[in-house]
Amino acid sequence: MHIEEHQDVINACRFCFMCRHLDPVGNVTFREADTPRGRALVIDSIRMNPECLKNADFIDALYRSALSAANRYHCVSHYDETGLVLAARQDVVQAGLAPENVKTLAHALEDVAFTVKGKGDVLYYGENPKLYPGCKTISGKDPGKALEVLGFVSESRKVFAKFKKAVAESKCKTLVVAEPSAYDFLKGKLSGVKVVHCTEYLLPPKAKAGRTRKACYLESDFLKNYDGNMAAPRELLKSYGYALEPFGTNGEESYSVGEGAVVYDELNPALCQKLCSRVYGLAGDAKGALFITASRYVRDTLKKYNAKIEVLSVEDAIARRNA
């Protein structure tokens, strides 16, 4: 079983309470099974008795995780509880035990094609091509990250092969990626192609900042907790005149409403709405407030459950300054 490769994590996390306050799902359900310790105990039970893998409640706990990795990033020993959950999901899928809603979502994610258009030596993968004049664009659904996160690793590889083929046929040696989940998935996987996040590519700014605007920046799970807390998004926003203010109770929690799980709102809509409600609650009177996020998923999900809140992606914010 894949979980056996994470025995050190199981041993460390199953009796440790130190990061329970950093689990976004645990903070809205108050269930022990929705904390890193609870999931480690569940997985330890499966390790000791593989028949427990058939336990529907155990499987549910694995797919309830938002995979923010805030606990891993702030753990003094950086134990990879997120990797442990992903390994357990892979074991569930390989045993043919994936829940029906998970299988249905996975099948939909397999149906994908990628198309390259335009001219240029740089290839852009995102929703704001006007910010990247002179670049080719590649369009299509998720490049395989969502399937990987759901535990469908072989299916993920097939989708990625399609994406890789389209990139190779573009003959571009630089790929600019906007969505943090896709950036995390693609970096280091395309031989001979440099993968950069869109905010890295857009620095230094090409427009004057104009009047300063206060905004709360909601950190990306991927850019912060997975990819070393990349500074480029914050630097870019500041250079365009956005005065970024801290949000929430502390700087360690995730307020990305399931971004780490990529398709969390499709998989667990009721839980996702609770995650959003917590963000709204912490925002208090958000009238006139502006929230900026690096993730299109976070933007769309927060707006879905509260249309009154103003949320922009980083690219949206830059486009607004350029208008």
- For the chain, give every domain's residue range: 2-95, 109-202, 213-322
Mean pLDDT of 148-161: 98
Token match 């994908």: residue? Answer: 112
Report DSSP state, residue 189. Answer: T
Return the minimum-mean-pLDDT range out of 12-26, 70-84, 204-218, 227-241. Answer: 204-218
Which is higher by pLDDT, 9 or 287?
9
User: Does this model's pTM top 0.75?
Assistant: yes
User: What is d(CA 141, CA 310) in angstroms, rounded to the nearest whole number?
Assistant: 25
Query: Same CATH topology for 109-202 and 213-322?
Result: yes
SS3 157: helix
**Of 20, 28, 22, 101, whose CA–CA distance to 271 is shortest?**
28
pLDDT of residue 308: 86
CB 170 within 8 A of CB 136: yes
Which is higher by pLDDT, 90 or 288?
90
Please write the tens of the pLDDT for every residue from 286-310.
667 899 999 999 999 999 999 888 9
Mean pLDDT in the chain? 95
CATH number, span 109-202: 3.40.50
User: What is d(CA 242, CA 236) in angstroms, rounded to the nearest whole number?
Assistant: 9
Omega prior to 233 cis, within 30 of 0 = no
User: What is d(CA 321, CA 242) in angstroms, rounded to the nearest whole number?
Assistant: 10
Mean pLDDT of 124-147: 97
At the topology level of CATH, where does 213-322 sit? Rossmann fold (3.40.50)
pLDDT of residue 208: 65
Token match 């593989």: residue? Answer: 50
Report DSSP state, residue 156. Answer: H
Half-sphere exposure at residue 73, Cβ-oriented, CA atoms within 13 angstroms: 22
CA 73 to chain CA centroid, Å, is 14
Mean pLDDT of 81-95: 98
User: What is d(CA 88, CA 108) in angstroms, rounded to the nearest whole number?
Assistant: 22
User: What is d(CA 151, CA 232) in angstroms, rounded to the nearest whole number?
Assistant: 31
Name the band, by pLDDT with cuts 50, 70 and 90, for residue 106. Answer: very high
Residue 215 above 80 pLDDT? yes
Please write the tens of the pLDDT for every residue from 12-53.
999 999 999 999 999 999 999 999 999 999 999 999 999 999
Name the band, by pLDDT with cuts 50, 70 and 90, for residue 207. Answer: low
pLDDT of residue 209: 66
Neighbours of 189 (CB within 10 A): 14
